[in-house]
Amino acid sequence: MIANKPFEPSSNLADQAAQSADEVIRSTQRVANETLDNLAVRVQDIRHEASPFLNRASEQANMLAQRGVDAVRDTSQQLREKAHHVSDSTVAYIRDEPVKAMLIAAATGAALMALINLVSRSRHHA
C-alpha cells in the first residue's frame, strides 16, 4: 500500500528558494550600502578637494568687487573735481566777460525753449 506522505522534497525546495532569495536580498542590500558608503566618501573627498578652489574663487570675486568699488569711488572723485573746476572756470569767465556770458546764456535758453516746443508739438501731433 502506498502511504500518503507529504511531498517533502517540494517543500524543501521552496524553503531553499526562499532562503536563497533572502540571501540575495541581504547581499544586494549589503552591496547597495557599501556603494552608498563609497559614494558618500567620494563626495566628501571631492568637497575637500574643491574647497581650496572655491575659497580662491571667492577671494578673487571679493577682490574684483573691491576693485569695482574703488574704481567707482575714484571716478566719482574725479567727476566732482572736474565739476568743481568747470564751475570755477565758468565763474571766472562770467567775471571776465559778463556781457558775452549773458548773451551765451540767453542764446542757450532760447535754443532749449525752441527744442522743448518742437518736442512737445511733435508729441501732440503723433
CA angle 51, 56, 37 (to 5 degrees): 10
Q: Indicate the pTM of the whole model.
A: 0.44
**58 dihedral zone (left: phi>0; alpha: psi -120 to 50; beta):** alpha
**Single-letter residue type at 32:** A
Q: Establish if 2 belongs to a structural domain.
A: no
Residue 3 lies in a domain: no
Percent pLDDT > 70 in the chain is 90
Cell reading at 126: 503723433
Q: Cα torsion at 39, 45, 48, 50 (round to 10°)?
A: -80
Domain that holds residue 45: 15-125
Per-residue pLDDT tens digits for 99-112: 999 999 999 999 99
Q: Domain total for the chain? A: 1
Residue 117, in any domain of the structure = yes
pLDDT digits (tens, 9 = 90+) for 71-95: 999 999 999 999 999 999 999 999 9
Residue 5 belongs to a domain: no
Cell 568637497, residue located = 47
